[in-house]
Amino acid sequence: MTIDELLAEIESKSPPASENDIAAFEAEIGHPLPDDYRRFLAGCNGGFLGGRFWYHEGDAGIHHIGGFRDESYFSLRWTRDCYGDRIPKELIWIMDDPFGNAICLGLEGDARGKIYFWDHEEEPDPEEWDGSVATADNVSLLTNSFTEFVAGLAPGEDDD
């Protein structure tokens, strides 16, 4: 699947994010977003897939897609505040699956540009965890880029 094909499938889209929206968010998080993800935001400012598409390698379905919207479940800002220190410091939430797990984007270091799956049922003990991707047993690498992640999406199997 291409980014354009994914954009065509997203429901409840709002108008694309502006360059000012993206730049303001980058200033807030203290990191530039990878170019492929910036292009995605410029085409879709959040939306809904309802688990209709899954990433083939990691069984990660896409439910909500983040953007700069007011609704909490579509908001990159709200989810950043909500998850806080529960998600490794090198990552941000960009999507979730139908079960409340997160699809995250790496922002810095070796994680930069990579896509990760964050399992909310396997969170480390905050007293024993240093906040990094390397020591988070509930985080697994899906792909080395957002483009690769999208290319690996396919329609989910019909449950009937």
Residue 96, judged by CB atoms within 10 A of its CB (0-12, 13-18, 19+), counts as buried
Determine phi and psi for 44, rounding to 5 degrees.
-155, 125
Name which of 5-9, 26-30, 143-147 the model is least confident about: 5-9
* The two three-digit tokens of residue 137, written as one number: 């047993």
Residues 126-135: pLDDT tens digits? 889 999 999 9
pLDDT at 116: 96
Residues 24-56: pLDDT tens digits? 999 999 999 999 999 999 998 889 998 888 887
Domains of the chain plus CATH, in order, are: 3-155 (3.40.1580.10)
Euclidean distance between CA atoms 31 and 77, whole angstroms: 14
pLDDT at 146: 97
Q: Other C-beta atoms within 10 Å of 3: how many?
A: 18
- Kindly list the distances between the CA atom of residue 115 and the CA atoms of 1, 33, 54, 90, in Å, as whole numbers in the listed order: 16, 12, 14, 11
